[in-house]
Structure 1
Amino acid sequence: MHDQRRRNCQWLLACFGMESRAAKESLEAFGATFAALAVLVRRATDSSGSAGTDPLRDQADACLDGLGAVARAEAQLAGLKVLLARGFEQATQAVAPPPASPQEHTAREMAVVAEVACVLTVSERSASALLAQSRELTTTLPRTLAALQDGSISWQHARVMVDETTSLDPAGAAALEAHFLDPEKLGGARSCPAGELVPSRFRAKARTWRERHHPVSIEKRHSKGILDRRVEYAPDRDGMAWLSAYLPADTAAGIWDRTTTAARALQGPDEGRTLTQLRADTVAAWLLEDTGTGTGNTATITGSTTATTGAMAAGTTTTGGVPSPKAQVLITVPVFALMGLTDEPATLDGYGPIPASMARRLVADGADSFHRVLTDPRDGAPLEIGRTSYRIPTAMRQWLRMRDGKCPFPGCNNHSLDNEADHLLAWHKGGTTGISNLGQPCRKHHKLRHTTAWKPTQATKNKPPGWTSPTGRHYQSEQQNWEPPHCPQQVLASATRPALVEQSEH
């Protein structure tokens, strides 16, 4: 069987003229993964021959190991697809004479796209995207292609890398690649390797890094983005439709958090709607409120009387029967950016980097809904807050939000405002109320922790807790990639001047 696979691989290479070292190595790696997978499948489907003391546990472990091997094989196959798609495009270009006109060049590109679409049975739009991604991976993103070929990242991760390096120059793309894929690079991404993050979380971290290090300042890109703000309407099935808005990040985050807070205030024992449904109903009521002009429709939401009354008693206002409490949004501002000495990005909780001008405006407005957090100039992280009682103070809860950014369970996207502070080692078992013994899982994973054998591991001042599964496997949590603020030249000069004066006096 192994010889047959080798002959098939050689045939593929000969057909596409791809006698390249990269293609050969990719095929050999896939062959090794396939051979290992065959062994795991035999273990997973035949527990009778297990040499262990617990055949069912051995079978379960083999199934999990097999799933991991399948994921690596899928990534390696995706790497082969990239090489083959790019090889076909290059071969077609090589055998054709130079195009006589731009129209002929376009027609040839359309023919290549159509051929790939037909052989893969996908749309021409998907085929065009594959060819463009293959072109980027084989020319400007060598680390990403290598990681895909050895199975350490998935095709989804590779697509994220292509997307997030768009509009970056080659040096910027190489720097983003090195940060996430080169473990030896100084200042590289902490904790979880890129391939151990679910693609959506990898996209969030890659986007954050891109925003911080883009050669064009975030101020200029944000100014251009503001001009594109809009609301979009799209009909959908079953009498439903989508309504979305493209807005500045601080506006969108404030609307989302205010909506969530209002929806939570409506929850109660007599409320049958889910939080997601309550958010939708709340937004609809706010937008359809009669403004007194006679042109709007009046919409109301009936919620729990106790919840609504409680929210109003706390000093909030209501719109159409819906409580409208203020949002609570965390914004982290580098101290020199807050002083206006640099334009480095601030960080909006649940979103990512925002322009320094936006952060300064939010702070200057003195909005009660925004909590200002100054970071440590040495490493960019906030300082630890300590307490010895069971009750977790508000300041410490806010620090947890800054440390973790979201629910620490691997792959969870639930933002920190929705999460619950939790002692890792229970208080009644000797656990303390300190940062290193606290996590902030979302409600779903908080329940998972207390109702199953999933358990969080130890945390630190800068690192959220990881998790150990019922099978004994350990999964790391993401870490915030704090970066120390840039020190302006005038600050450096003033800091070194006294030392120079002191040396001259001696």
Structure 2
Amino acid sequence: MAEALAVSFAELAVVLRGGAYSSGSGDADPLRRVADGFLDGLAEISRLEAKSAALKVWLAAGYSAAAEALAGPADSPQDHTGQEMAVVAEVACALTVSERSAGALLSEAHALTASLPLTFSALRAGTISWQHARIMVDETTNLDPTGAQALEAHFLDPHVVNPARGPAGELIPGRFRHKARTWRERHHPVSIERRHTRCAADRRVEYSPDRDGMAWLSAYLPADQAAGIWDRTTTAARALQGPHEDRTLSQLRADTVATWLLTNNSAGGATDGVPGGTVDVPGETVGMTGTAGVTGGSGATGTAVGGGVPSPRAQVLITVPVMALLGLTDEPAMLDGYGPIPPSMARHLIADGAESFHRVLVDPRDGAPLEIGRTSYRLTKAQRQWLRLRDGKCPFPGCSNYSLDNEADHLLAWAHGGTTGISNLGQPCHKHHRLKHTSAWKPTTATKNEPPGWISPTGRHYASEHPDWEPPTLPAPETTGALCTTPP
């Protein structure tokens, strides 16, 4: 491995000499060649960092195994613990890190070399980063070997059945964690209902003092309650924005929450109070999909396992497989801005606040949305729903801004002959919408089922993240029998 790393360093030197430090007298634009050389160098350095991390993992795992062999079998559990502590302390001193960091490295090294061969190989090849490898270790924790191998194969084996769309290494770590967590929730051997019921018992609020007279206040809540609080807070904060308001949106959120909690405008009160007045947060039509799904408005209550606390009225997009909606399967629903939620939570969100419904058909082969019904058809609203189902978030690579905060945009401007069809529409967040109009960054074309990519000012193409649709789960025949009647 050390030899391979040395070769990579030599390749990087060639890149830098050939690109950044050669004026290229025959090149029409030598400055462009220099800029491209530096970008190529940055990309190569990123691959070298991954390969270096793989070498570090290999060395750590090797030392741990050698130290265990040298120590011999432990005579008691106490001796075994002492041997582990000695190894951790040795590695910590050698790397000049804390024993906690050294212990984490040894644990991750063992998982990668013993249980996650595809991840370790990708790290050695430099196709994923160290952050990606750590996320894979984290998301496979507590899975049985078969489940861990399936999760790893989904993202790193292109020949597996229904592989992830796009290489894992092209996702920023935060987005990769979201997709890995989503897949894990869908395929976990224990149903999400049981896991949610168990974890909801740990809900709590935590307080942590910080510097400069500040402190952190955080809450661990069921996802529907947390998402509802966040969306309601954002809506109330935006209502306060205006030409005479100099506070940022983040400051307005903080002030709004503090006002709600410290005055009569409490979370469970009858008014949606905000500093200086009240705000009515109307329900908005939202999407739910299945083999024949429905769409409903939000403003629902929480589940019983969350203590019976209602989620405030808010804009929420949920995608629910129809069989799960009917209670025939346990496959998760999807809550926009969060990820998989128990189907019982989705049923509560629908039953306790949905104001209107639209049919959403999905492809039973892969779960991709096919058609939005025309029951209450208005072109702009239907197209907006389709964009939210197609993209899930801002399509700019690495951006995690979710649908409700994004802005519909013509990829080819209307003034230049662009249509208002789905294939010519995107939904970038405000930041990347502004980037499109104030720089040389330009979106590529889209399709009904794929969001647009982006072309940078240097001419490089960056693909957008594509949702990993999956075919819905069908209930067992004995379960569906109650839904059918046969003629005598």
Work out the percentage of aligned pairs sharing the same amino acid.
Answer: 70
CA separation in 2, counterparts of 1:121 and 1:212?
40
DSSP-derived class of the 1:47 partner? coil
Task: Give 1:442's match in structure 2, choosing from 419, 429, 450.
Answer: 429
CA separation in 2, counterparts of 1:56 and 1:85?
43
DSSP-derived class of the 1:233 partner? strand
The reply on whether 1:96 has 2:85 as its aligned counterpart is no
DSSP-derived class of the 1:143 partner? helix
CA separation in 1, counterparts of 2:21 and 2:5?
24
Question: 1:376 Cα shift?
Answer: 4.1
Contact 1:421 1:440 survives alignment (8 Å): yes
Show the 5 A alignment for 1:112-123: 112-123=87-98
Counterpart of 2:229 in structure 1: which amino acid? Answer: I
Task: Give 1:362's match in structure 2, choosing from 346, 349, 358.
Answer: 349
Counterpart of 1:362 in structure 2: which amino acid? Answer: L
Deviates more, 1:398-407 or 1:214-223: 398-407
TM-score, scaled relative to structure 1 = 0.84
Task: Give 1:475's match in structure 2, choosing from 455, 462, 469.
Answer: 462
Counterpart of 1:441 in structure 2: which amino acid? Answer: P
The reply on whether 1:170 has 2:145 as its aligned counterpart is yes
Match of 1:350 in 2: 337
CA separation in 2, counterparts of 1:438 and 1:326?
29
The reply on whether 1:405 has 2:392 as its aligned counterpart is yes
Match of 1:10 in 2: none
CA separation in 2, counterparts of 1:238 and 1:441?
36
Counterpart of 2:381 in structure 1: which amino acid? Answer: T
Task: Give 1:157's match in structure 2, choosing from 132, 136, 147.
Answer: 132
DSSP-derived class of the 1:462 partner? coil
The reply on whether 1:465 has 2:452 as its aligned counterpart is yes
Counterpart of 2:74 in structure 1: which amino acid? Answer: P
Match of 1:490 in 2: 477
Question: 1:107 Cα shift?
Answer: 1.2
Distance change >3 Å, CA 291–CA 252, structure 1 → 2: closer
Q: Which structure has the larger Rg over C-alpha atoms?
A: 1
The reply on whether 1:224 has 2:198 as its aligned counterpart is yes
DSSP-derived class of the 2:317 partner? strand
Show the 5 A alignment for 1:235-384: 235-290=209-264, 302=275, 311=279, 326-368=313-355, 375-384=362-371
- Structure 1 gaps, min length 5: 1-25, 293-299, 316-323, 502-506
Counterpart of 1:61 in structure 2: which amino acid? Answer: D
DSSP-derived class of the 1:242 partner? strand
Question: 1:374 Cα shift?
Answer: 6.0
DSSP-derived class of the 2:401 partner? coil
Contact 2:359 2:372 survives alignment (8 Å): no
Question: 1:350 Cα shift?
Answer: 0.7
1:98-144 deviations in Å (ceiling 9; x for gaps):
22221121111111111111111111100000000000000100000
CA separation in 1, counterparts of 2:176 and 2:10?
30
Contact 2:424 2:445 survives alignment (8 Å): yes
CA separation in 2, counterparts of 1:350 and 1:369?
21
- Structure 2 gaps, min length 5: 267-272, 284-310
Match of 2:269 in 1: none
Contact 1:212 1:353 survives alignment (8 Å): yes
Deviates more, 1:274-283 or 1:204-213: 274-283
The reply on whether 1:395 has 2:382 as its aligned counterpart is yes
Contact 2:225 2:312 survives alignment (8 Å): no
CA separation in 2, counterparts of 1:183 and 1:291?
53
Match of 1:194 in 2: 168
Contact 2:229 2:312 survives alignment (8 Å): no
Contact 1:424 1:456 survives alignment (8 Å): yes
Deviates more, 1:467-476 or 1:93-102: 93-102
DSSP-derived class of the 2:369 partner? coil
Question: 1:367 Cα shift?
Answer: 3.8
Question: 1:56 Cα shift?
Answer: 0.7
Question: 1:369 Cα shift?
Answer: 9.9
Distance change >3 Å, CA 38–CA 50, structure 1 → 2: farther
Deviates more, 1:413-422 or 1:141-150: 413-422
Task: Give 2:207's match in structure 1, choosing from 197, 216, 233.
Answer: 233
Question: 1:69 Cα shift?
Answer: 0.5
TM-score, scaled relative to structure 2 = 0.87
The reply on whether 1:36 has 2:11 as its aligned counterpart is yes
CA separation in 2, counterparts of 1:79 and 1:457?
35
Counterpart of 1:217 in structure 2: which amino acid? Answer: S
Match of 2:30 in 1: 55
CA separation in 2, counterparts of 1:313 and 1:116?
55
Q: Which has the higher helix share?
A: 1
DSSP-derived class of the 1:329 partner? coil
Distance change >3 Å, CA 73–CA 172, structure 1 → 2: same
Contact 2:281 2:314 survives alignment (8 Å): no
